[in-house]
Each structure stands twice: as C-alpha cells, then as structure tokens.
Structure 1
Amino acid sequence: MLLITAADFADTLRECERAALHLEVQDIYETPEESEPFARFLAGEPDDYTWMSEWVALVRETTGRGVAVRRARVVTVPHVDYQRWTLEVSRVNIAAGEEIRYLPRHLVSPDELTVDDWWLLDDRVAFTVFEPGGRWAGVAMTADRHIVDRCRAVWNLVWQRAIPHIEYMENSLR
C-alpha cells in the first residue's frame, strides 16, 4: 500500500475516470477541522459551511467531468449527535453533486461490511487513515485485485440496500 497524504488526495480524486465511491462505517469522527462547526450545530447556531468550500469545489469539478461521487453511510439508530449533524451537512455535499445514502446498521450483518472506511476510486481502494488525535491524515492506496473486489462487493451490497438522503431524512423525522 502507498500512503497518500491529505494534501495529495485531491489530485488522486482528480485522476478518477468513472467513480469515486466512499463507504463510511463509523458513527463518530473527531476530526479537528470539524470540531468548531459541530460545536455550533450542537449549540443550535447557524453554519455558513465555508469550511467545506474546498471539498465542494473538488466535488463539483469531479462530477463536472462525468465522474460519479457517491457516499454510503452505515449508521446506528437512534443517531448519535454526530450523525444527526451529518444529515444536515450532507445537503451541502449533495448540492455539490455527491449522491449520499444511509443504511441503518441493524439492516446489515457485520460480516457483510468492512471495519474500515475507504474510497473505491475506479479500480483502486484508498483506506482512510486518521492520526491518533483524529485528524484525517490521508489514505493508504492499493490496487490489489482481491482487496478491490472485496470492497466492490461490499459497496454494491451497501449501496443497493441504502436509502437516498432525502428519503432517509423524511423517514427519520417521523
């Protein structure tokens, strides 16, 4: 595997030709760059989402080239505060061109998932790497066919079962 730093990840995403598929399986992420916006959410304060501007621009650029950018989140119900926040923040991602779906954890067997988050970037897998303090450090890339095939199978299963963001919001608010 090759470690790609967070700074280089944008270039890696720009190399995608077909799809950038992101699986998230954790309920909580404690990344320093999200701590202030998350705290504002918990306090009921508004957010202008400017902290997401680089990501939004990258997603627009990527989807503008015809590359599908999709995110599937496997979440525990009832939602922890962090996941309630991601439901709100996801609106910004979606407006930029991402497709986002949610799969309640109780609807999938742990054996059908991976324990790590990752990106499937065409025919490469990029496992998300976090520093001990929670800061996103980059990704560990591999093109190993067995790993790619396993992640693609997990992705297909999760994406098929997952609920599109708008429908998930409507059902989770009931």
Structure 2
Amino acid sequence: MHLEMRDGYMLDDPEFIAWQQGKRPNPADRSSWWGGWHDAVRDAVARGVVVRRARIVSEPVSDYVRYEYDGTFTNIAAGELVRWLPRRKVTDLALPGTDFWVFDDAQALFHHFTGDGQLDEDGREYTDDPARVKLCADAFEAVWQRAIPHEEYRPR
C-alpha cells in the first residue's frame, strides 16, 4: 500500500520538466518508460502480491499531479491498482502526516519531504512498530474505500 498526499514532488526532475515542455509518454513505446520499478511491481504481482497506490490530491490539480496522472498508465501496466481522492473528501479521516508505504501489514516506510518536495536527506524512516503500521494500514483502507479508480477519475 502506498499513500501519496503531496501535490508536488521533486519539481526539478528532468522528466517533469520535459512534461511541462510538452513531452508526453507514449504508451506504445514501452521501452521508453519501462524500468526497474516496473519490473519489481510486475514480479511482485506475479507472486500474488496486490500493489495498491492511492493519491490524495487538491483540486484543481497541480501541474505535478497532472503529470502523475498522465504517467499512471505505466503503474497500471506493471500491475498496480491506483486510485485518486480529492482532498476535500478526507477532512474526516485521521491520516499520518506524511506519505508512506505499508509492506505485508508488518512494516511501514515513511517518506519525509522538504517544503519544496525534495526527499529530505534522512527522508526514509522504517518502522516495524505494530501500532504505527496499523495506523497507516487503517488510514490507507479508509482512503481506498472512498477513492476513485484511475480509469474513472478525471482531474479538474
């Protein structure tokens, strides 16, 4: 489970800058966008792992979120399930203060970003604490239940 809650990440990423200049990924040219992350997800899904990603987004969406939306077909091609939830629909949910991953309901990875969306130099925090892992898993499930599948979501 991966929950993303920011409206922008690493705005100096060359791929994002190229997207801002009009470059769009070509779904038909798999070799131009398929990479190691896609292999890892594909292999996990082949083993029976369900990989889910939910994104909480402000609307109207930021340029970065629109960039993510345009590239989400790559996540789906690898086997991820992706959903989107407008931020205004989470006001009654208790959420951890930062993005996270949950692995096998046993470990959580928190990502700590700087104000401008860069991963902080000590930005990865792992925990096996059952209470913290459960907090994240429960928060993710609450978001997932409300979120809109990628195929149905239309950013505004």
Question: Distance between the aligned counterparts of 1:160 and 1:93, measured in 2?
Answer: 20
Question: Distance between the aligned counterparts of 2:49 and 2:65, measured in 1?
Answer: 26
Name stretches of at least 5 consecutive residues in structure 1 with no aligned partner.
1-20
Measured on the aligned residues, the alpha-carbon RMSD in Å equals 2.3
Q: Alignment identity in percent? A: 38
- Greater Cα offset, 130-139 or 110-119: 130-139
Q: 1:99 aligns with which of 60, 63, 81?
A: 81
Question: Distance between the aligned counterparts of 1:159 and 1:145, measured in 2?
Answer: 21
Q: 1:120 touches 1:152 (CA, 8 Å); kept in 2?
A: yes
Q: 2:3 touches 2:53 (CA, 8 Å); kept in 1?
A: yes
Sort the Cα spacing of 1:72 and 1:127 in 2 relative to 1 into closer, same or farther, 3 A.
Answer: same
In structure 1, give the amino acid aligned to 2:77: A
Q: 1:147 aligns with which of 127, 132, 151?
A: 132
Question: Distance between the aligned counterparts of 1:115 and 1:140, measured in 2?
Answer: 13
Partner of 1:87: 69
Partner of 1:11: none
Partner of 1:60: 42
Please tell me whether residue 36 in structure 1 is matched to residue 14 in structure 2: yes
In structure 1, give the amino acid aligned to 2:6: Q
In structure 1, give the amino acid aligned to 2:109: A
Of Structure 1 and Structure 2, the greater helix share is in 1
Question: Distance between the aligned counterparts of 1:89 and 1:82, measured in 2?
Answer: 11
Q: Does the residue aligned with 1:112 lie in a helix, a strand or coil?
A: coil
How high is the TM-score relative to the length of structure 1?
0.77
Matches within 5 A, 1:1-174: 21-30=1-10, 35-47=13-25, 50=32, 53-109=35-91, 112-122=94-104, 123-130=106-113, 134-135=118-119, 139-169=124-154, 172=155
Q: 1:40 touches 1:47 (CA, 8 Å); kept in 2?
A: no
Q: 2:8 touches 2:65 (CA, 8 Å); kept in 1?
A: yes
